[in-house]
Every structure is written in C-alpha cells, then in structure tokens.
C-alpha cells in the first residue's frame, strides 16, 4: 500500500500565501484600505462560523474588523487579500465560535486553509513573546510571520513540531491499533509520536513502534502530511510493515492495549460499539480508510 492520501482535512488551503508581500508596507497598507479585503478574527483557536451543515467562516471587511495584531494570510486568484486578526470575536448574528476540531473537516477548502493558518499563527504569537536568547520582549515583523528581538536583532520564525503517525500492517494485511493511556475506553488509533532532535522521519517511525509495542518495522513509506495546529504540530503520515507473529509488548506508560485487526474484525468491533475509530479530521482516519477500502461504519463527521 503506497502512494499519497487523496484528501486531508487541514491540507486543503487554496490561497497564495503572498510571502513576498510580507515586507512590502505600501502593498500591505493598500490591501488593508481595500474594502474587498477580508479579515478572519481568531481568538483562542476559534473563529466565527455560520451555516449548518455546511459551515463557512465569517470574513469581515477591514473597516468592520476589531483592533488587534494583524497577519497577512494570503491572496486568492481574484486578487482578494485575506488577513487574520487576533481579538475578541465580535457579535455577528447567526454565527457561532468554532475551532478546527469542530469544523476543520466541514469547511470548504479555502476556509479550512484560512482557519488552519490563522490558528497556528495565533498560538505561536501567544507563546513566543520573548526572545529565547536574551529574554527581551520581541516585536512582530513580516506581516505576522516573524518576531524580531529589539535588543540583539535575532529573528524568530513560527515553530512547527513534526510528528509521525504510521499505519502498520502485517503479512495478513491486518492493521495495528492501540489505545493510549489517557484515551476513552473505546477509542483506538494507529501509533504516533514526536520526532526527536537529530532523528530522521523514518527513524522516528521505527523508534516509536518499537517503544510503544516492541515491534521492528520494515518498508517505511511516506503517505502524506497535514498541519495540525492543535497546538503546533505537522503530522507526517507513513505506512510500515511488521511481523504479526511477534508478541506485542505495549509500553505501559503510553499504551493500555494494542492488537491486530482484519477488516472484518474492525468492522465487527465498531458495529458492536467496542471501538470508536478516529474522526475524518485526522490523518489516522484517512490512512485507516484507505486500508479499509472506504468509510468505516458509523464514522463520526468530526
């Protein structure tokens, strides 16, 4: 099983990020003065959303946007420019606050990309206010994509933490599912973990599987990625194979139980209510669905 994943909920952005405009103050000022420009207000990872069952972001013209730190998010093919602003969410009739977990898989492509980008920037700015070299308060530059230390001139770029997530199969085409120690009793997913310093992605896949269930993997293959700003990861999906006859040795610190499943066994466990599979927002769900050959029974919408 190789090849890219066709659909990943948070990897659908359609805008040109217009990175070359981030230092062009005249262009930025003209864009902000243009009533066609649209502003996404974000606070604590949430923005205003209208419409059910087909939600859409509430995007305001600049004149109606609240004051707050402002970031350039991009430009669409028609020349409309989009900014993010962090501020208390304004009152808009018919709109409700929602975050990526609620609507990331339901929004249309442009809006999913806008919210993913804005939520990631908001969290980075909120948690990186001081220079890591000298502790001086940093200031925002490059339309929200850099922070600069006024004391030593160092530049600081948005942080993203890479994490690998892997669908492990055996010679009988069974998949390995596990329950994390802090998860609900019926929740199962594939294995995942953060990449460590000085480690390749493939090494991280092999290390995590060995640590979590005691298996050696082979044939580690990249499958796709999506940003996961919950709060600041990049999820990198892989497939790998392992020997299904080797006894599993779950790490009691991280894994409550782990087991191999055929398609029939997984369907039966879901039908019986013993297992809830991950929702379609996650790369895990997309990897499991590709192996399964379609949507899982009674899959939640988010």
Question: Is position 133 an interface residue for Zn ion (rule: CB under 5 A)?
Answer: yes
Q: Tell me if 97 sits within 8 A of 86, measured CB to CB.
A: no
| CB of 16 closer than 8 Å to CB of 74 | yes
- Distance, in Å, from the CA atom of 139 to the CA atom of 118, rounded to the nearest integer, reads 18
Q: Residue 83: which of 32, 14, 25, 147 has the closest Cα?
A: 32
Shortest Cβ 130–Zn ion spacing (Å): 8
Q: Which of 19, 30, 151, 256 binds Zn ion (CB under 5 A)?
A: 151
Task: Give yes or no for residue 149 binding Zn ion (CB under 5 A).
Answer: yes
**Pairing of β 161-169 and β 233-242:** parallel
| CB-based contacts of 175, cutoff 8 Å, min separation 6 | 167, 168, 169, 190, 260, 261, 266, 288, 291
By beta-carbon proximity to Zn ion, the closer residue of 63 and 134 is: 134
Q: Does 131 bind Zn ion (CB under 5 A)?
A: yes
Which among 73-81, 125-133, 194-202, 218-226 is the span making contact with Zn ion, rule CB under 5 A? 125-133
Comparing CB distances to Zn ion, the nearer of 1 and 134 is: 134
Dist CA 35 CA 188 (whole Å):
48
Nearer to Zn ion, 156 or 267 (CB): 156
The CA distances from residue 192 to 144, 202, 238, in Å, are 31, 12, 10
* Residue from 25, 44, 152, 196 in contact with Zn ion (CB under 5 A): 152
Stretch that binds Zn ion, among 53-61, 80-88, 123-131, 199-207 (CB under 5 A): 123-131
- Contact call for residues 86 and 125 (beta carbons, < 8 A): yes
Contacting Zn ion (CB under 5 A), which of 1, 134, 216, 256? 134
Q: How far is the CB of 151 from Zn ion (least distance, A)?
A: 5
Site string for Zn ion, 80-119 (x = CB under 5 A): ----------------------------------------
Which of helix, strand or coil describes residue 242?
A: strand
Residue ranges binding Zn ion (CB under 5 A): 131, 133-134, 136, 149, 151-152
């Amino acid at each position: 099983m190789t090849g890219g994943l066709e659909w990943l909920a948070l990897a659908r952005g359609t805008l040109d990020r217009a990175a070359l405009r981030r230092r062009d103050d005249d262009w930025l000022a003209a864009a902000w003065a243009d009533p066609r420009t649209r502003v996404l207000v974000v606070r604590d990872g949430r923005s205003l959303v209208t419409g059910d069952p087909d939600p859409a972001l509430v995007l305001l013209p600049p004149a109606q946007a609240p004051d707050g730190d402002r970031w350039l998010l991009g430009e669409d093919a028609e020349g409309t420019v989009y900014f993010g602003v962090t501020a208390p969410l304004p009152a808009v009739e018919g709109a409700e606050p929602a975050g990526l977990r609620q609507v990331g898989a339901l929004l249309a492509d442009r809006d999913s990309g806008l919210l993913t980008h804005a939520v990631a920037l908001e969290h980075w700015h909120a948690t990186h206010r001081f220079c890591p070299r000298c502790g001086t308060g940093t200031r925002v530059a490059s339309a929200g994509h850099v922070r600069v230390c006024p004391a030593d001139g160092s530049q600081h770029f948005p942080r993203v933490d890479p994490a690998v997530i892997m669908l492990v199969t055996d010679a009988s085409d069974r998949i390995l599912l596990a329950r994390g120690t802090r998860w609900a009793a019926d929740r199962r997913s594939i294995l995942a973990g953060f990449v460590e310093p000085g480690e390749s992605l493939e090494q991280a896949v092999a290390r995590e599987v060995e640590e979590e269930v005691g298996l050696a993997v082979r044939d580690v293959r990249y499958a796709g990625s999506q940003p996961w700003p919950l709060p600041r990861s990049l999820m990198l999906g892989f497939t790998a194979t392992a020997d299904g006859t080797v006894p599993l040795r779950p790490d009691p610190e991280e894994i409550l139980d782990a087991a191999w499943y055929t398609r029939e066994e997984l369907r039966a466990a879901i039908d019986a209510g013993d297992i809830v599979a991950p929702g379609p927002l996650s790369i895990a769900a997309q990897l499991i669905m590709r192996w399964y050959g379609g949507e899982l029974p009674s899959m939640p919408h988010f």
